[in-house]
């Protein structure tokens, strides 16, 4: 099929920053795009050819939108999967598939998928309701501490809590959930895999992630990871195993734990471009956003090697600041070598809201990390 400067239409469910960054590349290739999002101020609205405001969790809305495009993708998991399934039955290409998304949307079914496919992951218990957990602890089946995760709609530290004592359960919603063994890990890693419909598959280099201790959000992503080759190969092989098991088409970000004894366990996956791949815009031969297009359109996959070492810093709203956003000291960081800010276009800031990111590139990963620390200390996302 001719995607370029043609009648072909690519539909994207969700108009957030991931969609916006994917649209840089549809512009580059002159691929016609149609985007739907519930917000009239969605970051993607200015970069697409056609923007529609609508509820992507509503069956009829997604169905009607999908019937107007040739290939449908999404930049957020919280979409109506029943509508995607119907569209596939009607012959619309949906990538990643509704089957994959249905499995991944629910953390309990995602974990069961790993168990069924021999993919190493932390041991867990599944509960229909949070209220059932106390009984499991009292009867000795479940030991403290553990990680509570809501089965649905958790993201960026929401829907995840470490339970060290029974009283920690009290403020949690009474929903379907899992209780996962607390893994004493050395490091959190991620590998992005790209796979097209023909089965061509490539991994990006393993990245290491440094987390904010309170917000449970990634603060720094470093690529390449500062780890021995044997460990990064183990992580990349595991990510390939996961993508192959899903028969995935598109990008799959595989987040992992590196245990104290150098085993690698899958934590969870995201079937889309991911925070851990943002460094690739400046750091890789092919950015994750271009690669997503190549994969879902069944084009040859691009080179995933690094051109240069990269560190990504998330720009999140400062605590005690809510309202119209102001990026304090942004000119100061732009004066630093190898520093590129990406502003997502969200007009309102609030504590820990993802407002943008900054990439720092250098030939030396340690130098890039040092500059990233200065960037983090310098720029502030505040309200006016």
Which residue positions form the known binding site?
107, 149, 180-183, 188, 267-268
| Cα separations in angstroms, 149 against 48, 105, 152, 253, 266 | 35, 13, 9, 19, 15
Residue ranges of the binding site for ATP: 107, 149, 180-183, 188, 267-268
Tokens of 55: 């509820």
Does residue 140 contact residue 128 with C-beta atoms inside 8 Å?
no
Query: CA 32 to CA 25: how far, in whole Å?
Result: 11
Query: CA 256 to CA 271: how far, in whole Å?
Result: 15
Does residue 112 contact residue 268 with C-beta atoms inside 8 Å?
no
Question: Which residues, other chains included, contact 44 with Cβ-Cβ below 8 Å and sequence gap of 6+?
Answer: 12, 14, 15, 16, 19, 20, 23, 35, 37, 51, 75
DSSP per-residue letters across 286-344:
S-HHHHHHHHHTTPPPPP--BSSEEEEEEEEPPTT--EEEEEETHHHHHTSTTEEEEE-
């Amino acid at each position: 099929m001719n995607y370029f400067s043609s009648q072909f239409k690519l539909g994207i469910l969700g108009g957030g920053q991931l969609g916006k960054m994917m649209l840089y590349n549809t512009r580059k290739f002159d691929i016609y795009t149609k985007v739907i999002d519930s917000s009239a101020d969605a970051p993607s609205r200015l970069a697409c050819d056609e923007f529609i405001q609508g509820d992507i969790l509503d069956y009829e809305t997604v169905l009607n939108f999908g019937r107007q495009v040739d290939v449908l993708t999404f930049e957020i998991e919280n979409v109506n999967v029943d509508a995607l399934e119907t569209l596939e039955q009607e012959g619309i290409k949906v990538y990643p598939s509704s089957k994959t998304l249905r499995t991944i949307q629910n953390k309990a079914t995602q974990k069961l998928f790993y168990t069924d496919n021999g993919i190493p992951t932390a041991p867990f218990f599944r509960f229909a309701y949070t209220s059932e957990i106390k009984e499991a602890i009292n009867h000795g089946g479940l030991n403290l501490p553990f990680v509570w995760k809501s089965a649905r709609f958790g993201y960026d530290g929401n829907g995840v809590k470490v339970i060290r004592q029974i009283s920690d359960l009290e403020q949690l919603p009474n929903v379907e959930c899992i209780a996962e063994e607390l893994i004493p890990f050395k490091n959190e890693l991620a590998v992005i895999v790209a796979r097209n419909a023909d089965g061509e598959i490539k991994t990006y280099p393993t990245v290491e992630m440094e987390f904010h201790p309170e917000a449970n959000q990634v603060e720094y992503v470093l690529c390449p990871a500062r780890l021995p080759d044997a460990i990064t190969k183990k992580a990349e092989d595991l990510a390939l195993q996961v993508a192959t098991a899903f028969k995935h088409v598109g990008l799959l970000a595989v987040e992992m734990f590196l245990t104290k004894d150098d085993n690698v366990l899958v934590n969870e996956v995201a079937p889309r471009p991911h925070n851990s791949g943002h460094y690739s815009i400046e750091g890789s031969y092919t950015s994750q956003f271009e690669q997503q297009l190549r994969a879902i359109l069944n084009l040859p996959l691009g080179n995933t090697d690094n051109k240069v070492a990269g560190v990504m810093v998330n720009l999140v709203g400062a605590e005690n600041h809510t309202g119209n956003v102001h990026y304090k000291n942004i000119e100061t960081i732009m004066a630093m070598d190898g520093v590129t800010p990406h502003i997502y276009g969200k007009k309102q800031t609030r504590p820990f809201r993802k407002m943008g990111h900054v990439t720092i590139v250098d030939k030396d990963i340690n130098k890039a990390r040092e500059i990233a620390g200065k960037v983090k200390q310098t720029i502030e996302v505040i309200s006016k």
